[in-house]
Every structure is written in C-alpha cells, then in structure tokens.
Structure 1
Amino acid sequence: MFDLTPFRKMSEDLFEQIAKSFNEAFEQTSSISPLSPSVHSFRTDVMEKEDAYYVVAELPGFTKDDITIEVEDNRLIIRAKRDEVTEERDDTNKYIRKERRYGEFVRQFYVDDIDENGIKAKLDNGILKLEIPKLQPSKPKRRTIEIE
C-alpha cells in the first residue's frame, strides 16, 4: 500500500471538504492556495507496478547533498533543504521582486510492505527518481493441529 498521507481516512471529513472548497476559490486567483500541499512542498508523481512503486519528484536547483530520503514508521520522507544565500549590496542594488524560495521542502508518503533495503534513488537535472521494491508476499502457511 502506498498513500500520499499517513493515516488517511477512507472518506473525506468536514474539514477536508471545507479546505478543498477554500483552495478551489484561491486557485482561481492565485497559484498558491493557503491549505495546499504545494506550500513548502514539491510536485511528485507516484506509479505502482507489479513489483515496485516509482516516485518522480521535481527538485530543480537542488543537489544530492541537499536531499535526504528516509523510511520511518511506514513513512517514506523526502526532504530537500535550501539555505538562503546572503548577498552583499549597496543602495543601488535593491530587489524589486524576490521569488526564489528557501527553507525545507518535505513530502511524506505512507508505505507498507516495501523492501526498505532495496530502495534506489537517482537525481538527474533536478528530477529525483525513486524505485521502491515491494516485498514478496509470503505464502500462506498451513498447519494441521492434532486434537488430544
């Protein structure tokens, strides 16, 4: 099993419905919604195949040293951290607009029945690709119990 949020409920609760409506209203006028996961997050695609899950994450401008990938308590956690660069300037160099984001960007996915030791990661041109092998299902054991 692979899910975008840990401990997701099967049906939307009232808060989720309100948040969804709130975000839809903001999406028409703004590229960032206040309750959207895109704030301090990054875009990912998750694909399931028979033997593995595949995650593709957009992390432009990050190096492999900026990114950590962990599995903890059935959660796959991808973190990318970018520190703000302080530039020296005088009164003639002023920002008109500053759009580059700094800080920690995090995505978490609920994972179950995966081979943690077999996970492979590759970063190429700002695209992080993960291959997450599934555990082979164990065959059901059958045992006959003797009656005394």
Structure 2
Amino acid sequence: MKSRVILELYHDSTVEPFENPRFNTIEVMKMLKEAEIRGFIVKIVDTAGWSRELLMERYKQIVRRCRKGGGIFGPRNKRGWFFGREVPALIILTEGGKPELYPAQIGNSLITISEILKKLLSKRGGDGHLHVH
C-alpha cells in the first residue's frame, strides 16, 4: 500500500531556535530538499512576523488532530507558545492518517526533526509515496 506524504515545516527565519531540541537549519533544509526530490510534498512556512496568537492558533489546530507530539512547544499554561518560532515544528501528513508533530517527546525520548526526517527518508521510495507493509 502506498501513501502520499506532506511535510510542513514551520520556522521563523529571524529567530535563533532554542538549543534544545537541537534544530540544525542547514541539515533540515538539506533533508527537506532531498525529500522533495524523492517525491514528498514539502511546504516551508516562515513564521517571521506572525503574532504569538496566530502561532498558538495554528498549533492548536494541528495538535488537536495529532497522533504524536505537542508537549514541548511551551509550558503547561501556555502550550504552543514556542511553536514555529523558538521551537521549529514539522508536521507529517499522510492520506487518511492523523498528522504527526515533531519534535516529539515519546516516553523518555525526544525525537527531533532531523531524526524523524532521516527515518522517513530511509523508508521512502523514489516515487513520492511512503511504502507501508
């Protein structure tokens, strides 16, 4: 079975991301370019100039549908405060599936954007589809 995959990166080109959760802009952009070459649909959203309210609204729209992610984008009382600005965000969308939001805290492990892109690229065929067995 094949499933089309959309990758949406939200980041602010005018703000240096927090050191943790380790976001390497050059590495991520290179992997997204590779993903595009391999047939992923890639959308890069520069949030420079977006208000906190707009960022938090987009975060809420995404996280309520998500299968993974959401907890590391701000303190408990301000979930989403750092979304797409101090903490860049990657949303992975597949046809018929729930979105996944990265970086993600899964148990005691933090899965970074770079790590999930490496994993996704290693599973991806060259035809723009994710091959699920």
Higher Cα Rg, which structure? 1
Q: Which has the higher contact order (CA 8 A, sep 6+)?
A: 2
Common fold: TM-score over 0.5: no
Q: TM-score range by the shorter chain?
A: under 0.3
TM-score by length of 1: 0.25
